Amino acid sequence: MLRLVLTRLAYAVLVMIGVTFVVASLIKLIPGDPVDIMAAGNPGMTVEDMDKLRHELGLTRPILEQFFIYAKNAVLGDLGISIRQRVPAAGLIWERLPATAELAFWAILIALAVAIPIGIVTALKRDTAIDYAGTVVAVLGVSVPGFLLGILLILVFSVNLRWLPASGFRGSALASIPSAIASGDPSIFWNAFRYFILPSISLAFVLVAINARLVRSSMIEVLQQDYITFARAKGLPIRIIYLRHALRNALLPVLTVVGLQLGSLLSGTIVIETVFAWPGIGRLAVQAVHWRDYPLIQAVVLISALLFVFLNLVVDLLYRWIDPRAHHG
């Protein structure tokens, strides 16, 4: 186990170095620079002021020198200062990350709670009307864009029915659970959770379609294995065969996909956060690109890559816990 962790960490260091270099290089290829943007909003800035500011920001240094300085500071936890807001870029991201992380949590939870039962049922009812209905749901899920579904949900549940808020964020729903339990007032949790419902469903819809079909195909493959036939011959209850023996092995490929999906959600659900005015890192990334805030863009990409690498490591460790055969690989 220790060897696996150390190997993955070594790969992670190489990946982060590569990501940092590529992002730093691509940003330099963008026409113009932050000083041009700042000068456009400040007509009194002279050419000498612009050159002085470029020198202070380090924009006049060679690309490789800028990269090594940025990499050294990043190792120490300094991801630069936001040019637009003049505060540490890392601080801006850590302020927004909890909102994105909890939104991703509820989206994954909803997706798995719906996709796993659908995948199991459609696998057991293969080539029946239930299976065909599951196929229709999968096609709709991958065909309907998330932003379109979000707008439709807003029109129905916020504008017409007025059941749920159309946008905004009123704090963590998870953090409100202890207070709701202690006070015996479930409205404390509901007042925060109601803002998560529409954006979570918008994100979860496509995940339900993908994961349900993946669970179905994995279950069909596992149910054809010899050990399942042997378990049936022994007379084990059907529930034990399906849930303990078949589903556990069928979830292995699903685990990999869910890890990647969660990494994608944590790195910023740009469109959904924009539709629902969600204060997450996806919306922050859009603002950073609009402002040409190079340090903030680099910080968002770097932390997103770090989250992907970390989640891949977690998936590898979960593989060993779910499937003992992985210990011998």
The residue among 201, 226, 221, 207 whose CA lies nearest residue 149 is 201
Query: Rounded to an integer, what distance in angstroms lies between the CA atom of residue 129 and that of residue 127?
Result: 7
Q: What is the per-residue pLDDT for 318?
A: 75
Task: Name residues of the chain where pLDDT drops below 50.
Answer: 328-329
Q: Exposure string (b/e) for 196-215, b if CB count within 10 Å is 16 or more?
A: bbbbbbbbbbbbbbbbbbbb
Give me the phi and psi of 81, to 5 degrees please: -110, 130
For residue 125, the one-letter residue type is K
- DSSP-based three-state secondary structure for 193: helix
What crossing angle do the helices spanning 281-291 and 294-322 adopt, rounded to 10°?
150
- DSSP-based three-state secondary structure for 78: coil
Q: What is the per-residue pLDDT for 26?
A: 73
Domains and CATH numbers, the chain: 2-89 (no CATH), 96-328 (1.10.3720.10)
Q: CA geometry: angle at 137 spanning 308 and 149, to 5°?
A: 65
Q: What is the per-residue pLDDT for 268?
A: 62
Q: What is the per-residue pLDDT for 22?
A: 80
296 close to 82: Cβ distance less than 8 angstroms: yes
Q: What is the per-residue pLDDT for 155?
A: 92
Q: How does pLDDT run across 102-161, given as a tens digit for each residue?
A: 898 999 999 889 888 888 888 888 888 888 888 888 888 878 887 888 889 999 998 888
173 close to 104: Cβ distance less than 8 angstroms: no
Number of helical H runs and strand E runs in the chain:
15, 0
Q: How does pLDDT run across 19-42, given as a tens digit for each residue?
A: 777 877 776 666 666 677 667 666
Tokens for 61, please give them.
């240094």
Q: What is the per-residue pLDDT for 32?
A: 63
Q: Which residues, 6+ apart, have CB-to-CB distance to 192 below 8 Å? A: 170, 171, 172, 173, 175, 176
